[in-house]
Amino acid sequence: MSRTVRRDELNLSLAVTSLMKGVVYRDSGQTTWQHVVGLAAQVSDYVATLGLSVVIDEAEGYAFLRSRSDDELADLGIPRLVARHQLPLHTSLLLALLRKRLAEYDTTDAGSRLVLTGDQLRELLAPFFPATTNEARTTDQTDTAIRRVAELGFLRRMPGQDGEYEVRRVIKAYVDAQWLADFDTHLAEYAAIAGEETR
């Protein structure tokens, strides 16, 4: 149990550099979380000079930095700090499927953490691969997608649990409710693209 950080101990440099490195979670970085939340206004002002905004969700327990829109950056005369990269098909598909699974999970009283095994993650993606005799290739592509989603911070390997992953709630900030409402349409698009890529 970490102690409560006093107001005069809050450190802006620690808060900002931690956010620059990735998502800050209350449950896995309680001390850093206190610095981020306690200095939210100062963090916001500081990162704004870099063309970034800070997103803090105290209810879900995460905070991260988001780049401002291209139009906002152009108005400010600031170049984009982080280049945009298009995610591979199966990586973005897995993100969408995990977001849907989390939304379904939240309608139950199952608890606050959604934990899935590696096999369950592979089953999510299985319908989007064509029937093939080369199962090793399909497994390799699926595992690559799982690894990338974990590297992006949306899955966390459970310590001491071999092959189990927690779906991190920050995924809700990236795949929003409106996108989720159109989920079936998006899935049809993914299926069509996947079919073209495997021809």
Higher pLDDT, 113 or 189: 113
CATH architecture assignment, domain 89-197: Orthogonal Bundle (1.10)
pLDDT in tens, 91-136: 888 988 999 899 889 888 666 789 999 999 999 988 877 766 677 8
Residue the block writes with tokens 């298009």: 86
Please, are residues 101 and 116 in contact by the beta-carbon 8 Å criterion?
yes
CATH architecture assignment, domain 7-76: Orthogonal Bundle (1.10)
C-alpha to C-alpha distance for 72 and 30, rounded to whole angstroms: 33
Structural domain spans, the chain:
7-76, 89-197
C-alpha to C-alpha distance for 81 and 67, rounded to whole angstroms: 8
3-state secondary structure of 167: strand
Averaged pLDDT score across all residues of the chain: 83
CATH fold match for the domains 7-76 and 89-197: yes
Residue the block writes with tokens 């029937």: 131
Q: Across residues 39-56, what is the average pLDDT?
A: 92
Alpha helices in 22-174 (DSSP H): 30-38, 40-48, 70-76, 89-106, 118-125, 135-151, 171-174
Q: Across residues 149-175, what is the average pLDDT?
A: 87
| pLDDT at residue 190 tops 80 | no
